[in-house]
Amino acid sequence: MKIVSILLRRPASASVLSLIGVLAFYVVIGGVDFGQLIGAASWVNYAARIGIVAIPVGLLMISGEIDISIGAMIPAGAMSTAIITGYYELPMVFGILGALALGVVIGAINGILAVRTNVPTLIITLATLVAMQGVVLAGSKLLTGSASVPLAAPEWAKFMFGQFIFGGSHQVVIIWWIIFAAVFWFVLHYSKYGNWIFAMGGDKESARNAGVPVDRMTILLFILTATSASFVGMCHAILFNSAQVSGGMNDIFNIIVSVVVGGVILTGGFGSVPGVFVGTLTFAIVNKGIDFTAIDRNWSNLIIGVMLLLAVAMNENFKKLALSSAAGRPWKSKDNSPQAAAKEPKT
């Protein structure tokens, strides 16, 4: 029982329970062949695509902010790569750098507005989302006369960003997703930057008074979310040799749902990279795995909605468990709570 109690205090608990629940539901009610579902490439590819963006979005939400402009940055990254490389026929490296640079610029704008104004980041990034939708569509029409641009990626770009692996069905972005998860897992859970992020989500003013560079970290986190989204768009364009102005636009709330199912509290201060990773897997299985069941696909949104409500309720309860447990124990150096971050030396 003690082990179960410890596990339930982990931020990833909600995502693991959600995953088990979804798999059990599909096997028992949906009659799915478990081996066929696990071996399918469709949901893994989709999980990798949204997972690369979900992890930095999760870090941003742990810090107490949110970014919904990612929905426009995915097609923006794809169109930037296609226009620079496909339409103007410049080397692929310029297309890649152009897509990533656009992500850095838009992320910096979001971050600067977040720290220099009192406007909620939901509103700031909503404005950026709408503005970038217009920029991508109008810019594509102005420069190319079309909303769809083809490109021919060289072999090295295909190998790194746009090839099929493991027998020709799984996309290489799966490897990138694992790399992203490993790097951000170390940053969030085993570095001072992770302590800073948790502290910002707990209380920004207390974090600032403790020496945490709140403004710089906020801007950096927004840059990471926007750049990761443009990176996904770039990979998608290279994989399919074309880009559309609307590609990836529907992934906005899918990414947010994956983060919440992954155990991140909307108000900040609680969450984990493993949780977001499993939450993304869970959402992808619900979204794509339903095709392997006898359940009508039209019910998938209902399943996602119920799963989201249950995840939010579980996240709050698990946070209370974690806080009540931590209150009875002395502070330790590897604690990632806001109180631990406050003990970090000022820089």
CATH code of the region 9-342: 1.10.3470
Annotate 120-189 with DSSP letters as a single string: -HHHHHHHHHHHHHHHHHHHHHHHHSSSEEE----HHHHHHHS-EETTTTEETHHHHHHHHHHHHHHHHH
Enumerate long-range contacts of 5-10, CB under 8 Å, 24 or more apart: 5/321, 5/325, 8/318, 8/321, 9/318, 9/321, 9/322, 9/325, 10/263, 10/272, 10/275, 10/318, 10/322
Contact 45, 163 (CB under 8 A): no
Q: Give the pLDDT score at 338.
A: 47
Q: Is the pLDDT of residue 343 over 80?
A: no
**Which is more confident, 179 or 10?**
179
Domain range summary for the chain, segments of one domain joined by +: 9-342
CA distance 215 to 217: 5
36-69 tens-digit pLDDT: 777 778 889 999 999 999 999 999 999 999 999 9
Residues 167-214 have pLDDT tens digits of 778 899 999 999 999 999 999 999 999 999 999 998 999 999 999 999
User: What's this model's pTM, rounded to 2 decimal places?
Assistant: 0.86
What confidence tens digit (pLDDT) does each residue in 107-141 have?
999 999 999 999 999 999 999 999 999 999 999 99
Of the listed ranges 162-166, 249-253, 302-306, 322-326, the least confidently predicted one is 322-326
Among 220, 276, 251, 249, residue whose Cα is nearest residue 55: 276
Q: According to the model, what pLDDT value does residue 334 have?
A: 44
Which tens digits make up the pLDDT trace of 281-303?
988 888 887 777 777 777 777 87
Mean pLDDT calculated for residue range 251-280: 89
Residue that wins the pLDDT comparison between 138 and 247: 138
